[in-house]
Chains A and B, each alone.
Chain A
Amino acid sequence: MKIIRSNFDFEHFFLILVACFVLVPFIWIVAAGFKSQISLLQGEIFFTPNLDSFREVLFSKTTEFFSNACNSTVIAVISTFLIVFSATLGGYAMERMHCPRWLIHTLLGWSVVFHMIPPITLVAAWFPIYRELGLDNTYSGMVLAHMALHLPMALWLMANFIHDVPIELEEAARIDGCSTPYLIWKIIVPLIAPGLAATAILMFIFSWNEFTVALNMTAKQTSTVPVAIAKFAQGYEIKYGEMAATAALALIPALLFLLLGQRHIVKGLTTGALK
């Protein structure tokens, strides 16, 4: 007991120090959003908060923040839904439906390989096809791209979660005369609900955060929040205040997910990497 006690303070000291190191940039950027341009440029630590930058980002005539946030949300929601749907069905088929082994290995191999490929090479591969088909600068194009990027990981996760469902339950349902779609919907899905939530949250975050595809495949009407943030830093005159305000606003989804779904996120991330 004594040994724990003597180390207690040191560990907390170390962890609190790191926690500050993690949090300070976030706090500083939010504070920067509340500073006037002058007080930001002078690097003042104490300042009188004002809402000019936020007002500029949210309500000025030239702002596109709402349209960007709306694009991000639409693309993330649709692609998450489609990914989770395809991954659940695919994962179930791979785990429980006596697939040929080469097919399982190909799909799992795909999951591993796709994790390693830099997204930019994929964007290069899609780009000419998209141009020919008229898919660039459309929601469908973005959703398809996000599906291709993230479905492999979702398939991997869902196969893992379905693997943990006891097969006896399924056999019992079969004996009762349950058809395959009914079995998946009524037996499997409720049992893997936590895993499903973990996958869905991760897919939403990945899609929301994705930048490489969005940068090259979207134009004004479909550009997402990450692209909008990048735009602030690219102009001749960098609008630091607005950039900070946009960054502060873009933090909100991450914070929400962290507070509401942390358990699921941790589960998804650790399963994805360690299994």
Chain B
Amino acid sequence: MNLSNPVSELFWRRLALTPAVGVFVLLSLLPLANLIAMSVHEIRWQDGHSVWTFIGTSHYERLLDDGLLKKGFFNTIFFSVAGVTIQIILGFLLAWGVSRISRGRVLYRTIFILPILVPGILIGAIWKLMLNYDFGLVNGLIGLINVQPIDWLGTASLALPSVILVDIWHWTPFCFLLLLAGFESLPQELHEAALMDGVTAWTELRYVYIPLMMPVIVVTFLFRFITSLKVFDEIYLLTGGGPGSSTEVISYTIYRTFFTQDQMGYGSAMSVAVLFAIALLMVLGFSMSRYKGQGV
């Protein structure tokens, strides 16, 4: 017996979906279509209205030999790969450490997840002061061991590693949190069995935990890697892409082109290219994780 009236069922379903679908269509699909349209036009503002001139694919042709964009692309990849790898390793060790202690878990977790909740721009502000050449704490500390102060954010070769360090400080807690959830979902018997066999902690880590945690590690890596590609706030405040183009990242290139240089058409073409690249990466990532899943 069908208890619910099919007509009213359909009505309520449509009503319930309206807000979500509305946002999806009006604020996601439509603007993205508009972005693609903008990318093949030259756009200027006149009396508060935009004037569009069709220019075909020439923005896209320009993308191919834009040195700054290329630099931003490689910096973003390096930033994400280096940063996220270290975050995963540190987060894993932390989660392992916390999962082994019996008292104080919640206290450690409370402290460790604080950076996740803080606005990215605030992290940038904190570290801009911490890394300040004249009075920052970091230079103060290395001064104690008689090292000359270092201009962390103003030296071309050091700026990107410094920004990566800030990102590690910011996001290791997130990896820790996900990996801790992974550790806590493993059966306790594993640890007891390892204790019975009298293996060392390192052997246990190597032969029990790392293989068992591999799916969680892969998911955490992909998740963080993808969010890491979006980096903008910290770069905006810490270095503004400089010195030179040493910390130029893709989001910052788009921001500068689109908003400060007012090249809306070209900026849109960049955005479309980035979206396309990310879609490609996504397909690659998913097929890789599926391949992994079959292997195990």
Contact = CB atoms under 8 A, between A and B. Distances in A.
Nearest to A20: B111
Contact of A3 (B24, B114, B195): B195
B38 to A, nearest CB: 7
A77 interface: no
Nearest to A91: B20
Contacts of A254: 114, 117-119
Given A3-B195, A86-B23, A118-B232, A25 B127 contact: yes
Contacts of A122: 31
A18 B94 contact: yes
B81 interface: no
A11 interface: yes
B28 A114 contact: yes
Given A148-B27, A175-B3, A211-B121, A14 B97 contact: yes
Contacts of A148: 23, 27-28
A119 B121 contact: no
A78 to B, nearest CB: 14
Nearest to B272: A121
A121 B174 contact: no
A269 B254 contact: no
Contacts of B106: 262
Dominant SS at the B interface?
Answer: helix
Nearest to A233: B237
A274 B101 contact: no
Interface residues of B, number: 102
Contacts of A15: 94, 97-98, 101, 108
Given A25-B126, A41-B134, A209 B119 contact: yes
Dominant SS at the A interface?
Answer: helix
A41 B134 CA distance: 7
A41 B135 contact: yes
B20 A107 contact: yes
A184 B229 CA distance: 38
B271 interface: yes
Contacts of B124: 230, 233
B237 to A, nearest CB: 5
Nearest to A180: B12
Contacts of A125: 31-32, 34-35, 268, 271
Interface string A36-51: 0000111101000000
B179 to A, nearest CB: 10
Interface of A: 3-4, 7-8, 11-12, 14-15, 18-19, 21-26, 28-29, 32, 40-43, 45, 82, 85-87, 89-90, 92-94, 97-99, 103, 106-107, 110, 112-122, 124-129, 131-132, 144-145, 147-148, 151, 155, 171, 174-175, 179-181, 184, 205, 208-209, 211-212, 215-216, 225-226, 229-230, 232-233, 240, 243-244, 246-247, 250-251, 254-255, 257-259, 262, 265-266, 269-270, 273-274
23 contacts: A15-B98, A18-B112, A89-B15, A97-B12, A110-B24, A116-B230, A118-B251, A119-B232, A120-B254, A122-B31, A124-B254, A125-B35, A180-B4, A180-B8, A181-B12, A226-B121, A230-B121, A233-B128, A233-B237, A240-B135, A243-B125, A251-B122, A258-B117
